[in-house]
Copies of this chain bind each other. A is one copy, B any other.
Amino acid sequence: MPDLRKDPVSGRWVIIATERAMRPNDFKIEPHAPLSADVFCPFCEGNEDKTPPEIMAYREKGSYANKKGWRVRVVPNKFPALKIEGGLNKQGVGIYDTMSGVGAHEVIIESPLHITSLTEMSIWQVEEILWTYRDRMIDLKKDKRFIYGLLFKNVGRAAGASLEHSHSQLIVTPIVPITVIHEMEGSEVFYKYRGRCLFCDMVRQELATDARIVMEGKNFIAFTPYASRFPFEIWILSKTHASHFENIQKLEVEELAKILQKTILKLEACLTYPPYNYIIHTTPFTYGEIEYYHWHIEIIPRLTNIAGFEWGSGFYINTVTPETAAEFLRNANIQNNNEDMKL
């Protein structure tokens, strides 16, 4: 009998169709493209003039903007979804509402070398990527036109990536995205009823149950959520309450870098370099510290097509139970001779 499970955050139901459960190697995966050193890459060191001028970079002392010598580099997206200049110009069009597409669309180039995965980097590089995320959020938050910053990563063509060189993106919008509105509404209802943060409760229950834990550190857990929409979906949550990603502490950055890299290493080991997205869900700029919403990272391997049923209903059919996925991920044979990766 399939199992229906409700995600307490969004209110969304998921069908866990255990009877047609698949093993990880049943997925026909188009792995993300191998290194192709002969194809021109605008993100590689030496090609700085092929991107729009940089917004910021972590660079070696004495090196110059838009020249060699950077470690992480942030540039505007060459084909931005939103434009940085101009007013919001909010207006009605009959029953409809519109505003100008004002916002920011930045690309975080994660390495001067042409590497395609976070897992090929040293841990200090992953830390610097997280610091870049934080610095850009804090900078863009100052602009009163902007309400929300969405940090995400697309890996592999099936996950929407058009370049293989490891990179993330930040889109800053003048509205709160509908998914975040629904998540905040769901967790506020829980908070009003129970007087506790839903995500903090989730951490406690997951640690007590243990069946869905992929990894546990001092400050973070990685787990497969109870109502996983997708096979091998993984969330990373901080164990203590925190509403805003950008208020992360230095010691937490160090641990998060390890747990993120190790989680993706496990995913790559289980699923042979799957295409995936990760997205940081955090509280809008316009809110101070709040008790009911808790920032987190959602990692979504892109193994299956979304069909009409999912589009029409917003509920998902998942053929791998999160408990099975967690077990595979826990047991994944990762080469861990890197002392840095010890949690």
CB within 8 Å of B: which residues of A?
1-6, 8, 10-13, 15-17, 20, 79, 81-83, 86, 93-102, 150, 152-154, 157-161, 169, 171, 173-175, 177-182, 190, 198, 201-202, 205, 209, 226-227, 277-281, 298, 300, 305-315, 317
Contact = CB atoms under 8 A, between A and B. Distances in A.
Nearest to A183: B314
A308 B169 contact: yes
- Taking the full assembly, how many copies of this chain does it contain? 2
A-B pairs with lowest CB-CB distance, top 6: A160-B307, A2-B101, A279-B312, A177-B313, A277-B308, A152-B308
A124 to B, nearest CB: 24
A305 B182 CA distance: 23
Contacts of A13: 173, 175, 177-178
A11 B8 CA distance: 21
Given A277-B307, A279-B312, A178 B4 contact: no
B178 A306 contact: no
Contacts of A177: 13, 312-315
Contacts of A16: 101
Given A13-B178, A160-B305, A279-B311, 12 more contacts: A1-B102, A4-B100, A5-B98, A8-B96, A10-B178, A17-B101, A81-B317, A95-B202, A154-B307, A177-B315, A178-B314, A277-B308
Interface of A: prevailing SS: mixed
A159 B4 contact: no
A322 to B, nearest CB: 11
A144 to B, nearest CB: 17
A277 B175 contact: no
Given A101-B1, A308-B153, A309-B171, A81 B314 contact: no
B309 A97 contact: no
Contacts of A209: 94
Given A1-B100, A15-B82, A95-B198, A179 B306 contact: no
A190 to B, nearest CB: 8
